[in-house]
Amino acid sequence: MQRAAERRARGSGGKAAWKLHIIRQLRHRDRAQHGAFQELIQSYNKLLEKSVILKDLTEKIQTEPVMSPRSRPPARVPPDAPLLAGSEAPPTLQEQISAFRDYNGELAVQACELKKGVQERDEELQKQKSSISFLSTLVDDHQRQCECLENEMVRLVCSNDDLKEDYDQLLTRRRLLDRQLHDAAEKQRELLESLTKKKAMEAEQQNNFNERRKEEIWRRVVKKALHKSVSAEADLRHQRCLDLRDSTSLVLSRSHEKEKTCPRKPRSQSMISLGPSKLMGALRSWFDFGKRPDDCSPDDDWCRPSSVCVICCLPRRALYSKEVHDSEIHAVKFSPNSKMVATGGADRVVKIWDVVGGQLQCQQVLHGCNGGITSIEFDSSGAQVLAASFDGSAHLWKLDSKSSDTLTGHMGKVTAARFKMSPYRAVTSSMDRTIKEWDLHKAACIRSIVVPSYCSDVVCSDSYMISGHHDKKIRFWDSRSRVLIREVTLEEKVTSLFMEPEQRQLLSCSRDDVLRLIDLRMGSVLLTFRADGFKCGCDWNKAILSPDATYSMSGSSDGTIFIWNTQTGLLERSLSGEHRAAVNAVAWSVSGEYVVSVDRGRKAVLWCEY
């Protein structure tokens, strides 16, 4: 019947495929369960046969007459009937009946147990049928999901092919744009090199012209000054008169400006007794054409120091030595009039000191920093103080109004903060690898340059900025275009930079215990300063030039201060005995009279010549 049903299902085609599938499952279940119930069926058949035999015997016993045991014929015992224990004679019929009844009871018990087992198997079979039905439904669901996933895979493959085509087109376009960008960068670099060379040539020509003009004016003044001996004040007045007759109106205006802002102390000795070098220094201080640009307007509020350094004196003796902070001191700076000194360090405050009678008297304490002070700078008028801090910002204080502003925007420690030529512009450098230019009126960043390495120090003019880095390089940046103009590579990472007021030379200090004097016009190293015992004590060790750029100075890790001659490159003097810890920074007054040094031991020392 099953085969006939299969044939009918096959004849009906695909519409009756499910019937064929059910028939196959039934046949498979019949084969799987036939063996499990085979033993039960055989036992049940044996039980039926024995029941029939027992029934026949019972009927015969009821029909036969009762006979005595002696006349009773021997009963037929089934071959598998149990024998009575301890009896050698064949059992009687009654005993056989009892034995068969007992055996029948046992068979009934076995039949009940087998029936119970059959019921359990039926229940298990029913559960298996339910499980098979559930699994069949689950298989159908999975098949449908597989079909959906296959369709989705086909769609994704097509989409990926389209995206790959778009990516290939974009990659080709990117390569083309990269080539164009590289060509443009090469052209820009060539233009910058040509422009730099042209500016260098023009600057060299202008410098030569200015030098010839200065020499001519000096020659006239010296020629007239050698015929008479007058006081320094009278000679300077006479020199201004000569300047009115011989120089242009621009030189005249500058001379009057210096006369108002730079009063000189009269000396009893004559100008001739100063000697040729001091006389030339005095003349240079009055006839310096590079101090202020010709195109500067009064609205720019440019201020020059009120004290002019005719000649710097080498410090010899310590006038004042005292612990002035609660922790190590990182920075020190003189004001433009040489009457005030600012110090700052790890105790998060900036202290303003008056230089009175060879001593430092605390005038003011500036608060507001949340981190240690790394550098301090006065503006050209001395009315504002700018400090860089480890709290990721720079702080600006106005000494006259006692107000303050905070320049925030850096993500790392601010290592240096400098005023530009205008007192309303400032530049900061940070360990977050950025250099930022600030508008101090708005306390806002107006320009930012991303640099390749940690920036340890920065100096600037109106047209360019110079930064020192931990990757052993000094980089020159154009202030407006933010383009890298030049690089100078040193032996170790740079700790500080110092640019002379003339903006012709740059002094760098690095961790290889060497100071280098760099020509800013040519970008080459002019001199290197070394000394036995000199060792750069930290990553922010400051080195400076004297106001007349005649000497360079830096502190060492053993507390000694070293001074070199910038003309010969030789060590002029070393100052020791006052500091017991590493000297972090030094400052030279604009008048050339005083030097202040600070160290890690919280001490500040005031030095002078006499």
**Among 183-187, 197-201, 282-286, 528-532, where is mean pLDDT lowest?**
282-286
- 131-178: pLDDT as tens digits: 898 998 999 999 999 999 999 999 999 999 999 999 999 999 999 999
What is the share, in percent, of the chain residues with pLDDT greater than 90? Answer: 45
Q: Give the pLDDT of residue 432.
A: 92
- 398-434: pLDDT as tens digits: 988 778 899 999 999 999 999 988 778 999 999 999 9
**Among 73-77, 135-139, 317-321, 446-450, where is mean pLDDT lowest?**
73-77
Exposed, middle or buried, 74 (CB in 10 Å: 0-12/13-18/19+)?
exposed
Contact 453, 471 (CB under 8 A): yes
**Confidence band (pLDDT; 50, 70, 90) for 241?**
very low
Most confident of 54-63, 205-214, 325-334: 325-334
Is residue 1 scored above 60 in pLDDT? no
What is the share, in percent, of the chain residues with pLDDT greater than 70? Answer: 78
Q: What is the dihedral of CA 390, 391, 392, 395, to 10 degrees?
A: -90
Q: Give the pLDDT of residue 4.
A: 62
**Which phi and psi angles does 66 have, rounded to 5°?**
-75, 130
Q: What is the CA radius of gyration of the chain?
A: 54
Is residue 583 scored above 90 in pLDDT? yes
- 119-128: pLDDT as tens digits: 888 888 889 8
**Confidence band (pLDDT; 50, 70, 90) for 6?**
low
Contact 271, 279 (CB under 8 A): yes
Residue of 427, 424, 405 lying closest to 414 (CA atoms): 427
Which two tokens mark 335? 């004001």
* CA distance between the termini of the chain: 133
Determine the length of the chain.
610
Residue of 454, 537, 535, 529 lying closest to 498 (CA atoms): 529
Which two tokens mark 541? 């060790």
**Confidence band (pLDDT; 50, 70, 90) for 334?**
very high
Q: Give the pLDDT of residue 2.
A: 53
Q: Rounded CA gap, 303 and 306, in Å? A: 9
CA distances from 81 to 45, 47, 84, 101, 105 (A): 18, 14, 10, 11, 14
Contact 365, 344 (CB under 8 A): no
Exposed, middle or buried, 259 (CB in 10 Å: 0-12/13-18/19+)?
middle
Q: pLDDT higher for 108 or 170?
A: 170
Global confidence as pTM: 0.53
Q: Give the pLDDT of residue 32.
A: 77
CA 437 remoteness from chain centre: 20
Which residue type occupies 274?
L
Q: What angle do CA 532, 535, 536 make, to 5 degrees?
A: 150
CA distances from 396 to 299, 346, 376, 439 (A): 22, 18, 10, 12
The side-by-side arrangement of strands in the sheet containing 484-489 is: 455-460, 464-469, 473-478, 484-489
**Which phi and psi angles does 172 have, rounded to 5°?**
-65, -40
**Confidence band (pLDDT; 50, 70, 90) for 280?**
very low
Which two tokens mark 237? 């007045």
Q: Give the pLDDT of residue 541.
A: 92
Q: Rounded CA gap, 208 and 211, in Å? A: 5
Q: What is the dihedral of CA 245, 246, 250, 255, to 10 degrees?
A: -70
Q: pLDDT higher for 236 or 554?
A: 554
Q: Give the pLDDT of residue 8.
A: 63
Which two tokens mark 144? 């449908």
Q: What is the dihedral of CA 578, 581, 586, 588, to 10 degrees?
A: 0
Burial readout 36-57 (b: 16 or more C-beta within 10 A, e: otherwise): eeeeeeeebeebeebeeebeeb
Q: Give the pLDDT of residue 230.
A: 43
Q: Give the pLDDT of residue 232.
A: 42
Residue of 90, 85, 93 lying closest to 59 (CA atoms): 93
Which residue bears the tokens 């598998």?
Answer: 80
User: Given 3-state DSSP classes, what are the helix, strand and coil percentages for the chain, each rounded to the nearest 5?
Assistant: 40, 30, 35
**Among 56-60, 195-199, 360-364, 427-431, where is mean pLDDT lowest?**
56-60
Which two tokens mark 540? 């922010």
Contact 513, 534 (CB under 8 A): yes
**Confidence band (pLDDT; 50, 70, 90) for 251?**
very low
Which residue type occupies 200?
A
Helix/strand/coil (H/E/C) assignment for every residue in 109-149: HHHHHHHHHHHHHHHHHHHHHHHHHHHHHHHHHHHHHHHHH
Is residue 244 scored above 70 in pLDDT? no
Mean pLDDT, the chain, rounded, equals 80
Q: Rounded CA gap, 146 and 302, in Å? A: 81
Is residue 488 scored above 70 in pLDDT? yes
Strand-pairing partners, residue 518, are 506, 525
**Among 41-50, 160-169, 550-559, where is mean pLDDT lowest?**
41-50
Exposed, middle or buried, 426 (CB in 10 Å: 0-12/13-18/19+)?
buried
DSSP character at residue 540: T
DSSP H/E element including 65: none
Which two tokens mark 475? 């980089």
Q: Give the pLDDT of residue 521.
A: 85
Q: What residue ranges do the domains of the chain occupy?
A: 2-65+73-160, 317-608
Domain 317-608 has CATH 3.90.1150.10: no
DSSP character at residue 184: H
Report the pLDDT averaged over residues 343-372: 92
Report the pLDDT averaged over residues 259-269: 37
- Tell me the H-state helices in 226-275: 232-246, 249-261
DSSP character at residue 272: G
Strand-pairing partners, residue 202, are none
Q: Rounded CA gap, 202 and 470, in Å? A: 34
Q: Give the pLDDT of residue 310.
A: 52
Is residue 524 scored above 70 in pLDDT? yes
Q: Give the pLDDT of residue 3.
A: 61
Q: Rounded CA gap, 110 and 486, in Å? A: 108
Strand-pairing partners, residue 474, are 468, 488
Is residue 12 scored above 60 in pLDDT? no
Burial readout 379-397 (b: 16 or more C-beta within 10 A, e: otherwise): bbbbbbbbbbbbbbbbbbb
Residue of 239, 244, 314, 308 lying closest to 271 (CA atoms): 239
Q: Give the pLDDT of residue 150.
A: 92
Which residue type occupies 306?
S
Q: Give the pLDDT of residue 26.
A: 86
Which residue type occupies 307?
S
